[in-house]
Amino acid sequence: MNPIPNCIIETVDTPAYVIDASQLVANASAIRQLAGPQATLLFALKAFTLIPPLRTLAAHVDGFAASSLCEARLARDLASSSGRVHFTAPAVPARDFAELTRISDCIACNSPAQWERFASLDGTASLGLRVNPGLSLTDDERYDPCRTASKLGTPLAEARQWLDTRDDSAPPVEGIHFHSNSEGDDLAGLDQTVARVEEALGAHLHKLQWLNLGGGYWYPDADNRTKLRPLVERLAETYGLHVVLEPGMSVASDAGFLVTQVEDVFQRDGRTIAVLDTAVNHLPEVLEFEWEPELLPTIPEGPVRCVLAGCTCLAGDLFGEHGFARPLVPGDRLAFTYAGAYSQVKADWFNGVCPPTIYLTESDTWNITELRRFGYEDFLRQYSS
């Protein structure tokens, strides 16, 4: 991650998302290098959907992964005719089936029943099945795709039984997809998951065209630099498969900052509270994951402690307690890091607080362009009949 300079922090109108397009490209390029030439690299749009930098990113990935018709349409627009679009979703409205089969290259159906519905239509998409490996790698079951009674994918035993009993004259199942982790930082979990899939599906893997390993891993982690390529190469060479990766967070997360301004400072029950002009609904995973975001400028064990609070009336609109070299005062600027993924796509209008203005920059020059500013007319459009 390239640290955002003070000239940007002090220049933008707050609150502001500042997106470093060059960091998006650098992250995607790093993952491609780690995975090797035999991997197909797709960017998962669910993490980030700001179109101008995605058009830049499109030249550095093989396509995009989508989970709704709107995302699939955007993916096809971004990928044009040469890039790939992979689609999977737990539920697909029947009205969307026909178009999805036309604009997607591959569709991973969430269940055998969903597969049969897609297969009954004329279309060009390669149809596969999303499986659930049943190996929980995430402590918080809210974000565990393999939790008990999960809606995400078909259990491996059930998938094997369905594949074993299908008529030879039926249309072939051409791929398998799984996505079984969330923000994992150790690819040992991916190795274990692949081993489960291989053990359960056995010879069926030799009949497939593609295997999609999903996302949910922080690929740039140092411990992963020697693990990914051997796994991709072994799967490709053993089974003759196109191996697909769908990173989202690990491409976008450190390419975004949320810049904010201190609006008020006061004392409560022996603690200092600074109220910002942003809110946790601009960085929703602070509340959802209950994590304290990293901040610039801050000193983890700084002599001055301050609770950072958001500007809405939600009591839990808090960014945690941080350390500073001096007391904060109204007008001070701060920047939350790792704000690129799952922020802009989840931001809402709670309390009528406008979403942050969106800026695009390139960390080689730090020239900045305003892409979108929100105001009252946008607020009205959210709720007009």
Which pLDDT score, from 0 to 100, does residue 227 have? 86
Which pLDDT score, from 0 to 100, does residue 246 have? 97
Quote the number of domains for the chain: 2
Which pLDDT score, from 0 to 100, does residue 218 have? 83
What's the whole-number mean pLDDT along residues 279-299? 88
Which pLDDT score, from 0 to 100, does residue 170 have? 83
Pairing of strands 16-20, 256-268: antiparallel
Q: Is the pTM for the entire model greater than 0.85?
A: yes
Which pLDDT score, from 0 to 100, does residue 72 have? 97
Percent of the chain with pLDDT over 70: 98
- Is residue 24 one of the residues assigned to a domain? no
* Cβ-proximal residues to 185 (8 Å cutoff; 6+ apart), any chain: 217, 218, 221, 223, 224
Please report, for residues 106, 129, 246, the alpha-carbon distance to residue 173 in angstroms, rounded to integers and kept in the order given: 11, 7, 20
Which pLDDT score, from 0 to 100, does residue 383 have? 80
Q: Which residue has the tokens 């780690």?
A: 34
- Is residue 181 one of the residues assigned to a domain? yes
Domain endpoint, select from 185, 220, 247: 247
- Is residue 290 one of the residues assigned to a domain? yes
Across the chain, what does the average pLDDT equal? 93
Q: What is the crossing angle of helices 188-201 and 156-165, to 10°?
A: 30
Domain endpoint, select from 208, 225, 247: 247
CA 143 to chain centre: 13
Contact predicate 185/217, CB 8 Å: yes
Residue 266 has pLDDT above 80, yes or no: yes
Q: What is the crossing angle of helices 188-201 and 228-239, to 10°?
A: 10
Which pLDDT score, from 0 to 100, does residue 44 have? 97
Which pLDDT score, from 0 to 100, does residue 288 have? 86
What's the whole-number mean pLDDT along residues 274-298? 90
Per-residue pLDDT of 144-157, as tens digits, reads: 999 999 999 999 99
Same domain, 235 and 90: yes
Which pLDDT score, from 0 to 100, does residue 165 have? 93
What is the chain's alpha carbon radius of gyration, rounded to the nearest angstrom?
Answer: 22
- Is residue 156 one of the residues assigned to a domain? yes
Same domain, 144 and 125: yes
CATH classification of the domain holding 271: 2.40.37.10
Please report, for residues 89, 99, 100, 132, the alpha-carbon distance to residue 68 in angstroms, rounded to integers and kept in the order given: 7, 11, 9, 20
Same domain, 268 and 344: yes
Residue 385 has pLDDT above 90, yes or no: no
Per-residue pLDDT of 205-240, as tens digits, reads: 999 999 999 999 887 664 666 789 999 999 999 999
Residue 122 has pLDDT above 90, yes or no: no
Which pLDDT score, from 0 to 100, does residue 178 have? 97
- Is residue 23 one of the residues assigned to a domain? no
- Is residue 25 one of the residues assigned to a domain? no
Which pLDDT score, from 0 to 100, does residue 292 have? 82
CA gap 232, 236 in Å, rounded: 6
CA gap 285, 230 in Å, rounded: 33
Which pLDDT score, from 0 to 100, does residue 82 have? 84
CA gap 319, 274 in Å, rounded: 10
Q: Residue type at 260?
A: T
Domain housing 356: 6-18+253-383
CATH classification of the domain holding 202: 3.20.20.10
Window from 53-67, 215-229, 309-323 with minimum mean pLDDT = 215-229
Same domain, 260 and 209: no
Look at phi and psi of residue 199 and say left if phi exceeds 0, alpha if psi is from -120 to 50, else beta: alpha
Instruction: Report the candidate in 373, 320, 369, 366 with the shortest Cα–Cα distance to residue 6.
Output: 366
Same domain, 265 and 211: no
Q: What is the crossing angle of helices 21-35 and 228-239, to 10°?
A: 50
Same domain, 355 and 370: yes
Which pLDDT score, from 0 to 100, does residue 49 have? 96
User: 183 pLDDT band (50/70/90 cuts)?
Assistant: confident
Residue 301 has pLDDT above 90, yes or no: no
- Is residue 49 one of the residues assigned to a domain? yes
What's the whole-number mean pLDDT along residues 65-84? 95
Same domain, 138 and 159: yes
User: 164 pLDDT band (50/70/90 cuts)?
Assistant: very high
Look at phi and psi of residue 88 and say left if phi exceeds 0, alpha if psi is from -120 to 50, else beta: beta
Percent of the chain with pLDDT over 90: 81
Residue 104 has pLDDT above 60, yes or no: yes
Same domain, 230 and 151: yes
Same domain, 287 and 217: no
Domain endpoint, select from 194, 223, 247: 247
Largest alpha-carbon pair distance within the chain?
74
- Is residue 31 one of the residues assigned to a domain? no
Which pLDDT score, from 0 to 100, does residue 107 have? 97
Per-residue pLDDT of 123-147, as tens digits, reads: 789 999 999 999 999 888 888 999 9
Same domain, 182 and 115: yes
Which pLDDT score, from 0 to 100, does residue 314 have? 96
Residue 184 has pLDDT above 90, yes or no: no
Same domain, 184 and 280: no
Per-residue pLDDT of 353-369, as tens digits, reads: 999 999 999 988 899 99
Same domain, 72 and 43: yes
Contact predicate 259/334, CB 8 Å: yes
Report residue 98 as tokens. 């026909």
